[in-house]
Amino acid sequence: MEISKVTVRSILNKHKRRDEWFLDEYSVNPYYGCPFACIYCYTRGGKYGKAPDQLSAKINAPEVLDRQLRRRASKKEYGFIVVGTSTEPYMPVEKELGLTREVLEVIRYYRFPVHVLTKSDLVLRDIDLLLDLSGRVILPEDLKGKVSGSLVTLSILALDISLSKVFEPGAPSFLGKLRGLSLS
């Protein structure tokens, strides 16, 4: 699958308030588009909801995030960063490009808590980084002692593979996700 490479001026999105479910005060999406083509995806029709074969990698995302987080950290504006709010951070091209891993390394350096949203077992590649990050973050005062510094939400739509293929035609099967999780 072909992916275009784009440069961006900003990668960190600041939210007006923290979401109670995802705990996000910030979001980061290293890619535009998603090859999983889930029919229920809320980004369809928006700038992130491109056709499954129209993917873009934000090739300068780690450098831009470094600059933006340096500024936030200097002001002690710590809060959860959710990775993958509008695109899949672990789409197959991530194996080659490694943008999500690089983004997580920047987040770890500045000690921000992180919540990764994914449908892919490729997240297991970065388990070492996520575990290390978890013990180093600076949590907001009201969350100390309540949550870990790194969270991963791995979604599984259905246990029936044929049903999953209808709703998530390009997503990895739940069996691969479960096999991967049992190895860790």
Which of 28, 111, 117 is closest to 65 using CA atoms?
Answer: 28
pLDDT > 70: percent of the chain: 85
| Residue 183 binned pLDDT confidence (cut-offs 50, 70, 90) | very low
In the prediction, which pLDDT does 175 show? 58
Residue 42, pLDDT above cutoff 70: no
First to last CA, the chain: 29
116 compared with 50, residue with greater pLDDT: 116
How far is it, in rounded angstroms, from Cα 174 to Cα 169?
Answer: 12
Report which DSSP code applies to 56.
E
pTM for the complete prediction? 0.86
How far is it, in rounded angstroms, from Cα 164 to Cα 171?
Answer: 8
Contact partners, residue 61, CB within 8 Å, separation at least 6: 8, 11, 28, 30, 99, 102, 103
**Token pair in block for residue 122:** 């490729």
Classified as helix, coil or strand, 7 is coil
Mean pLDDT of the chain: 86
pLDDT in tens, 134-182: 989 999 999 999 999 999 988 777 777 777 777 776 777 665 555 555 4
How far is it, in rounded angstroms, from Cα 114 to Cα 87?
Answer: 16
| Residue 45 binned pLDDT confidence (cut-offs 50, 70, 90) | low
For residues 50-60, give the mean pLDDT.
Answer: 78
* Domain-wise residue ranges, the chain: 3-183
Q: Which of 2-6, 30-34, 159-163, 175-179 has the lowest mean pLDDT?
A: 175-179
In the prediction, which pLDDT does 35 show? 82
Torsion of CA 164, 168, 170, 172, to 10 degrees: -50
Residue 15, pLDDT above cutoff 90: yes
For residues 94-102, give the mean pLDDT.
Answer: 97
Torsion of CA 74, 18, 124, 93, to 10 degrees: -80
